[in-house]
Amino acid sequence: MSKSVYINKITSFLPNEPVENGDMERILGQVGPRPSRARKLILRSNKIKKRYYAIDRETLRPNYTVAELAAEAIRKLEGDSFQLSDIECMVCSTTMADQTMPNHGVMVHGELGNPSCEVISTSGVCVCGATALKYAYLSIAAGDSTVAVSSAADAPSSLMTAKHFDVENEEKVELLESKPEIAFEKDFLRWMLSDGAGAMMLSDTPNQNEKSSLKIDWIDVYSFANEMSACMYAGATKNADGSLTGWRNFDAQSKERADCMTVTQDVKQLNEFVLKYTLEEPLKQSIHKRGLNTSDYDYFLPHFSSGYFEDKVAQSLESIDFSIEKEKWFTNLFDKGNTGSASIYIILEELFNSGKLNKGEKILCYVPESGRFSTAFIQLTVV
């Protein structure tokens, strides 16, 4: 019989000072002879007011690696009831590690210097933060460990600096007014993404003090790669038939090799399929599998990459008869930014430490990714 698993502490680490909308271009750099025309249009659509970059404001050079961001979040878990030496299993995730090898998890372990333990990395785009949590959860549920740590970290800012981009295509900028979805193309993603990290401490016993814990009821993860080609990718170019040609197939000095390393998104595919394959189809499966009812939930924590998708998520929920009142929604996208795989950690951290949660309340988390259309749903109960 599996053990119950509890999240006893959640932390986040956001590097440096918050970056206001007006300071983004100074830090990321201006492309071409004049400021970006697209930036204000994209920010109006995504509704993000602040974000964080792992970039020094004076030198304009990166001052944290992805592994360092994760290590900072994990260190913040330490306290009276938990030390790094207690970790038996540590699972670390990121969308893009600092290097292709060794894996991200062992680099975080090296940063922390905690005693030898099981270290696992999960890979993906946004969903890898949820798969890291699921591995840590299953490790404890199976009785293989009693204390585990899960983390997620992303630092896309180093790929969003001016040197990686060409001068804006004026025709595309004009299209932004009528087709705001093109803000998700490679040329415009620099105004969409943010840096940050989060960590969770899991145990087979809940907190023994007055502080609440979150019992993990279940985590469902789905992939639709059997039906869909890649939509968001890096380290490759997409061919007409939907296949990818990876970076190893390009000459080291070629422009194609340099270009393929930037984050790219197939916007037509994204707009047409993202909600069907990350929300509607998989949630219907969880509803059937788990017997879910909207009335069960006190909080809905959606990870959406932009305010552009907020109403679309609501419409998709309504289309499958699973509407959740907006009063139950909780997000901090607009003040913390879109931090990719770390987003659900950063959202949960704020809610968990807000003092708002009451015993018995249930939380449903929704974590989609457009990489090749995967998603995760997480149900938590406050104890």
User: Tens digits of per-residue pLDDT, 206-253?
Assistant: 999 889 999 999 999 999 999 999 999 999 999 999 999 999 999 887
CB neighbours (10 Å) of residue 6? 22
Ramachandran angles phi, psi of 272, nearest 5°: -80, -35
- pTM of the entire structure? 0.96
In the structure encoding, which two tokens stand for residue 176, read together?
């932004």
User: Tens digits of per-residue pLDDT, 102-116?
Assistant: 999 999 999 999 999
Among 140, 245, 220, which residue's Cα sits nearest to residue 380? 220
Q: Which helix (H) or strand (E) holds 351?
A: helix 343-352
pLDDT under 50: residue ranges of the chain:
none
pLDDT score of 182: 79
- Pairwise CA distance, residues 312 & 130, whole Å: 22
